[in-house]
C-alpha cells in the first residue's frame, strides 16, 4: 500500500462517496415523504446525472463532483415504489428478487471495470514514460 499512493487516494474518494450516501439516506427518505416518490426519483436521477457529468481537474473539484451523490438513492426509491405498487406475497418477492439480481450484477461489473481501468492507466503511463525517455533520453 505504501508503494502505491494512488490506491490510498482512491480509497479516500470511495470513503467520501460512501459517507455522502449514508448521510443522504435519511434525507432522501424525508424527501420521499414530503414530495412523493416520483419527485424524489427525479431528484435522484438529476443528482446521478450531475455527478456523472461534472468534470474534475484537481482533488477539490473531484470531491465537489461527488457531493451530488448525497441523493443518489435510486435503489431505496425503487424499493419504496415496489412496496407501494405490488401485492404482498409472491408478486412483491419476485419484484424485489429481480431488483436484487440486477443490483448485484452491476456491482460485479463495476468492480471489474474499475480494476481494468486502473490497470490500463498504469500500463499506459509506464509505456508513455518509457517512450518519452527513449525519445529524449
Domain stop point among 85, 101, 126: 85
Whether residue 8 is found in the same domain as residue 73? yes
Give the pLDDT of residue 4. 66
Whether residue 79 is found in the same domain as residue 30? yes
Residue 8 has pLDDT above 80, yes or no: no
Whether residue 31 is found in the same domain as residue 79? yes
Name the average pLDDT for the chain.
Answer: 81
- What contacts 124, CB < 8 A, 6 or more positions away? none
Whether residue 81 is found in the same domain as residue 93? no
Whether residue 120 is found in the same domain as residue 71? no
Specify the higher pLDDT residue, 120 or 56: 120
Whether residue 105 is found in the same domain as residue 133? yes
Whether residue 80 is found in the same domain as residue 28? yes
Domain stop point among 85, 106, 121: 85
Give the pLDDT of residue 34. 92
Give the pLDDT of residue 37. 84
Give the pLDDT of residue 1. 45
Distance CA 91, CA 97 (A): 10
Whether residue 121 is found in the same domain as residue 74? no
Kindly report, residue by residue over 40-94, the tens digit of the pLDDT.
Answer: 888 888 888 887 777 777 777 777 877 777 777 776 777 778 888 888 899 888 8
Provide the number of structural domains found in the chain: 2
Whether residue 54 is found in the same domain as residue 92? no
Whether residue 2 is found in the same domain as residue 68? yes
Whether residue 74 is found in the same domain as residue 24? yes
| Residue numbers of the domain that contains 112 | 88-137
pLDDT tier at 135, thresholds 50, 70, 90: confident
Whether residue 133 is found in the same domain as residue 70? no
Percent of the chain with pLDDT over 90: 1
Give the mean model confidence (pLDDT) for residues 123-131: 86
Give the mean model confidence (pLDDT) for residues 22-39: 86
Amino acid at each position: 500500500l505504501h508503494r502505491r499512493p494512488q490506491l490510498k487516494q482512491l480509497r479516500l474518494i470511495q470513503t467520501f462517496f460512501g459517507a455522502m450516501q449514508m448521510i443522504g439516506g435519511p434525507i432522501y427518505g424525508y424527501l420521499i415523504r414530503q414530495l412523493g416518490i416520483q419527485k424524489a426519483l427525479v431528484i435522484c436521477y438529476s443528482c446521478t446525472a450531475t455527478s456523472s457529468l461534472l468534470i474534475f481537474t484537481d482533488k477539490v473539484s473531484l470531491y465537489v463532483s461527488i457531493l451530488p451523490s448525497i441523493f443518489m438513492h435510486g435503489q431505496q426509491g425503487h424499493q419504496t415504489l415496489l412496496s407501494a405498487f405490488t401485492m404482498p406475497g409472491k408478486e412483491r418477492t419476485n419484484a424485489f428478487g429481480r431488483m436484487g439480481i440486477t443490483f448485484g450484477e452491476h456491482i460485479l461489473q463495476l468492480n471489474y471495470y474499475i480494476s481494468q481501468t486502473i490497470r490500463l492507466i498504469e500500463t499506459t503511463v509506464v509505456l508513455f514514460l518509457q517512450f518519452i525517455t527513449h525519445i529524449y533520453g
